[in-house]
Structure 1
Amino acid sequence: MARMIWKGAISFGLVHVPVQLFPATQSEHIGFNLLDKRTVDPVGYKQINKRTGKEVKREDIVRGYEYEKGKYVVLSDEEIRAANPEATQTVDILAFVDAPEVSFFYLETPYFLAPDRKGEKVYALLREAMKSSGKIGIAQVVMHNKQHLAALIAVGPALVLNTLRRADEVRSSDEFKLPPEGVRASGLSTRELDMAKKLIDDMSEKWNPAEYHDTFHDDILALVDKKIRAGKTEEVDVQAVRAERPKSAEILDLSDLLRRSLGRGKSRADRRSANDDRHDDEHDDEEAPAPARKTPARRRRAAG
């Protein structure tokens, strides 16, 4: 069960919806410790003066805001705390907007909101009204001593609070040299467009996030397990666990590449089904393999 990180209420107009806030995501990052290669001892973290190269004691470190290159205003912890927004216990809805108006560029971190203190009915009322209207709420909320802009979104049976990046945190595409919009302006032919659309149709399938894996995470765990099985803490042939990377295609003729791609562009589900059929035909007479044994690293991760 996720740990509750905030309790308060959604406020719009005179209506208050008591809610509890829970994280909607979890991290699966590979973490590395810094070690002394001579002894494999953990290496600690030191604060170093970048000009002198000498270590600085923690009590001599202050916070500074760089207002010009190399020039700082020093702020005490008390001053920073006093400048922080006042902690409130409400998700204050400022406006309702059409959902497609908020670009995915602005979406940051999602959180689940669950009803609290017998607030189920008014929670459901707000959720169903938002679904019927096709609107999402733009709100302000203070979490962890920081004010956030956020979107309140009805997703299935839940109300989700998704923190938003502010306008000055999202770069404009004007910074980049991009081809002009439009088929004719981009120099594309109708035939090329039709083939590209056909390829997209052939590769289309229902979104299932469980089918997509962090291959780097899996490769690192495979390397760790190989070292454990070998009883080594020294070098192991990394090439043995590294998947072959497909080479980038050199674009010579766009139409020809599209034409060749169409033959290979069936959906992942179709490709899996075809591979399964071939696998069954090849191994009808073979004994089914035993279930894979959990590797040491995975056992430790599951236990943790």
Structure 2
Amino acid sequence: MATASRTLWKGAITFGLVHIPVGLHTASIEQGVDFDWLDKRSMDPVGYKRINKRTGKEIDKDDIVKGFEYEDGKYVVISPEEIEAIYPRTTQTIEIQRFIDANEIPFVYLERPYYVAPINRGQKVYALLREVLVKTGKVGLAKVVISTKQHLAALMPAGEVLVLNLLRWGDEVKSLAGLDLPAAGVKGAKVTASEMKMAEQLVKDMSGKWNPDEFKDEFKHAVMKIAQKKVKAGDTETVIEPEEEGPAQGAEIIDLTELLTRSLKGGKAAKSAGSSAKKSAGSRTSAGAKKTGAAAKKAPRKKAPGPRRKAA
């Protein structure tokens, strides 16, 4: 099993007036099999070209603008300056908006998990949040900006670690309209008592403990066997690719655990203090975050994205 990756992002979890300094780590890896396109004559990577779909001719990047399709075949052009002005502000915080019951979020909304680990002596208040979530059966519904994109997320305990699950926005999940579904409930679906009894017995017979190691991507392992066989036989090719840049890291945020008591008091005083704390934290991180974001946007990409085709 792969171990946790290097820190992708540094910031803080915030709720009330409390800041918990944390680092973000990827919690998943791609399990599919990707095949890169190569030029068989030279074994060079094959990348995309900027092609005008009507003329079939390659065009210069300076002649490309970004268009938003508001109706079928109709676009408005959005300038780089207009896009820059509305980019989400990088705050380096996982800002909890509210706490909700853990079973309220349907699985269809879960998109991508990240491990959240404490940094800068934030272990105690991190543990406090983790344990109170376990005891209350709640998860923190939060907003976070990662790589200039704002996400809705659920912060939930999973054993010793807090996991930040990025969520799909409400308008990204399709409605059930148009699906031919049976009515809800046993009576509505016209399921008989004997059918229900047999189905329950079958579920009971097939039940077991959750063990992810028991399930493998069979196609991936078959491809790996073929690849290993070719490697042993010396049937390999060398492809030279540019090095990729590592992810930028944000500024560290000071632990403000002493604000927990003031958060519980509520009222105007707490709100005023919270506004000042967030403004102060923002001033400490905005300069570094904006500089990092600007550098990431202006830096030339060293590796052209090659077309990849995943096995069905």
Q: TM-score when scaled to structure 2? A: 0.69
1:214-225 matches, cutoff 5 A: 214-225=217-228
1:46-125 matches, cutoff 5 A: 46-125=49-128
Using the alignment, how far apart are the partners of 1:146 and 1:50 within structure 2?
A: 29
Residue 17 and residue 230 in structure 1: after superposition, are their counterparts in 2 closer, same or farther (change >3 A)? closer
Q: Deviation at 1:55?
A: 1.2
Letter in 2 for 1:99: A
Q: Deviations over 1:9-60 (max 9, x none)?
A: 1111111111111111122332212245677664332121111111112222
1:284 maps to which residue?
Answer: none
Using the alignment, how far apart are the partners of 2:234 and 2:121 within structure 1?
A: 57
Which of these two proteins has the greater Rg computed from alpha carbons?
1
Letter in 2 for 1:138: L
2:13 counterpart of 1:28: no
Q: SS state of the match for residue 175, structure 1?
A: coil
2:160 maps to which residue?
Answer: 157
Match of 2:46 among 43, 48, 55: 43
Using the alignment, how far apart are the partners of 2:76 and 2:214 within structure 1?
A: 50
Letter in 1 for 2:151: H
Letter in 1 for 2:5: A
1:127-142 matches, cutoff 5 A: 127-142=130-145
Using the alignment, how far apart are the partners of 2:119 and 2:234 within structure 1?
A: 52
**Which residues of structure 2 form unaligned runs of 5+?**
237-312
Using the alignment, how far apart are the partners of 2:142 and 2:86 within structure 1?
A: 21
2:15 maps to which residue?
Answer: 12
Letter in 2 for 1:115: P
2:141 counterpart of 1:173: no
Q: Deviation at 1:136?
A: 0.6
1:177-216 matches, cutoff 5 A: 177-216=180-219
CA RMSD of aligned residues (A): 2.1
Q: Deviation at 1:211?
A: 0.9
Q: Deviations over 1:199-222 (max 9, x none)?
A: 111110000011110112122233
Q: SS state of the match for residue 81, structure 1?
A: helix
Residue 225 and residue 89 in structure 1: after superposition, are their counterparts in 2 closer, same or farther (change >3 A)? closer
Using the alignment, how far apart are the partners of 2:227 and 2:193 within structure 1?
A: 51
Letter in 1 for 2:194: R
% of aligned pairs identical?
A: 53
Q: SS state of the match for residue 159, structure 1?
A: strand
Using the alignment, how far apart are the partners of 2:107 and 2:208 within structure 1?
A: 21
Q: SS state of the match for residue 120, structure 2?
A: coil
Using the alignment, how far apart are the partners of 2:111 and 2:148 within structure 1?
A: 17
Letter in 2 for 1:219: A
1:248-259 matches, cutoff 5 A: none
2:246 maps to which residue?
Answer: none
Letter in 2 for 1:141: V
Residue 198 and residue 128 in structure 1: after superposition, are their counterparts in 2 closer, same or farther (change >3 A)? same
Residue 82 and residue 199 in structure 1: after superposition, are their counterparts in 2 closer, same or farther (change >3 A)? same
Using the alignment, how far apart are the partners of 1:230 and 1:120 within structure 2?
A: 51
Q: SS state of the match for residue 202, structure 2?
A: helix
Q: SS state of the match for residue 35, structure 2?
A: coil
Letter in 1 for 2:191: L
Using the alignment, how far apart are the partners of 1:201 and 1:62 within structure 2?
A: 58
Q: Deviation at 1:185?
A: 2.2
**Which residues of structure 1 form unaligned runs of 5+?**
234-304
Letter in 2 for 1:132: K
RCO comparison, higher one (Cα < 8 Å, 6+)? 2
